[in-house]
Every structure is written in structure tokens, then in C-alpha cells.
Amino acid sequence: MAHDHHEHDHPHDHPRGSELTPVEARVRALESLLVEKGYVEPAALDALVEMYETKVGPHNGARVVARAWTDPAFRARLLADATPAIAELDIGGRGGEHMVVVANAPGEHNLVVCTLCSCYPWPVLGLPPVWYKAPPYRARAVIDPRGVLAEFGLHLPESTRITVWDSTAETRYMVLPERPAGTEGWDEARLASLVTRDAMIGTGLPKLPELAE
């Protein structure tokens, strides 16, 4: 479901130092209890986290974006039917069964949210950020997306049209950001290094080439 806006807000708080957010504290407590009771092996938990951080993470989505930036035919397939196009790169699985990719363009920006819960394309973007699940983000991204983006540090021109895409259990969205200028001749691996998770959600933009060196 898409929501169109020309004007947009979201609290984007980060824990300071070693301070835990309430959600992180609850997860740590639950993890400790499960390990103490013998229900879960610490090594199994570590392996699961490592898998999502190193094997199933935002770098998968970055590969998809970089391929689309360098291969017009792949880009066309990606925007027409994302799931099989993404599978061409051996990326897929539970949580990414039906993917839709929406492309940013001059004067056009896309933002992804899940207002009902926190549906998220895990195989492509890895672990969802805490703020993606937070009720303030889920509500305000639709009501005031321009304000939300500003709180992430992304200030778009008033003339930029912002479309909000509401993910569901059936359909999950990913943003194809615009390729940064000054990257002519870059290979896919180098281009992928510019692509951030937030850029693929729409709360940020790719890194500038001069900052990626």
C-alpha cells in the first residue's frame, strides 16, 4: 500500500554509551533466562546473530542495488518483478517471498514502513533496526514522512514528492536509491560499499563517494 505526501517526522533516539533501550534490556533478560534454564545454547544464539550480521544482512541488498546501478536489464527485471530478480543473486528465503522494489528518482523519494507490525525483508536487509519496529516511527512515517526524514537528517526539497510504502506479511518493500554522482566506472563491489540499510528503507541516502574511501 502506498501513501503519497509532499510534506513529512520521527523520533530517532540512539542509546548513549552502553545504555540499553527498554527493548534491548528485555531481550537481554529473556536471553539470559533461556540460557540459564537450558532451553537455548549460547553458541546457537551467537551463530544465529552472526548469520544475520555476516551472511544475511544489508550487504545483500547492497549487492542488489549495485547490480541495478550497473545493469539496466537487471534493473528493469527488478522493478517489474523483484523476487525472481533478487533470486538471480542467490538471495531469498522466508521474509522475502514477495518483494517489491521502488526506485527513487529526481524529485521522487520513497520511504518504507510497516504500520501493522514490523514486516521487514530479512533476507535482503538483515536484522531490522529497533526504530523500524517502534510505534512512533510506524505511525508518524505515514502522517508526517517529511518530518520523520528530517529527524534522520535527511532534508528533502519541498518540491520532492514522497511516497510511503506500507509493508505487509504478503508484500515487503525495498527502496532502490539513486546512484551517486562521481561513481562512473566503479565496479559492483565498490558501488555496494556506498549502499546503506537506511538508504534501502528510504530514511537515508547512499554514502557520498568521497566519504567511502
Residue 193 appears among annotated catalytic residues? no
Consecutive H or E run containing 103: strand 99-103
Options 18, 32, 119, 159, the catalytic residue: 119
Options 18, 32, 118, 167, the catalytic residue: 118
d(CA 92, CA 87): 6
Options 114, 159, 167, 193, the catalytic residue: 114
d(CA 196, CA 187): 17
d(CA 105, CA 194): 17
Residue 119 appears among annotated catalytic residues? yes
Residue 114 appears among annotated catalytic residues? yes
Q: Is 18 assigned a ligand-binding role in the annotation? A: no
Options 32, 117, 167, 193, the catalytic residue: 117
Q: Is 193 assigned a ligand-binding role in the annotation? A: no
What DSSP state is assigned to residue 210?
A: G
d(CA 112, CA 154): 14
Cross-strand pairs, 110 = 163
Instruction: Tell me the DSSP string of 49-97.
Output: HHIIIIISSHHHHHHHHHHHHH-HHHHHHHHH-HHHHHHTTT---TT-S
**Positions marked active-site:** 114, 117-119
Question: Per the annotation, where are the binding residues for Fe(3+)?
Answer: 114, 117-119
Q: Which residues are annotated as a binding site?
A: 114, 117-119
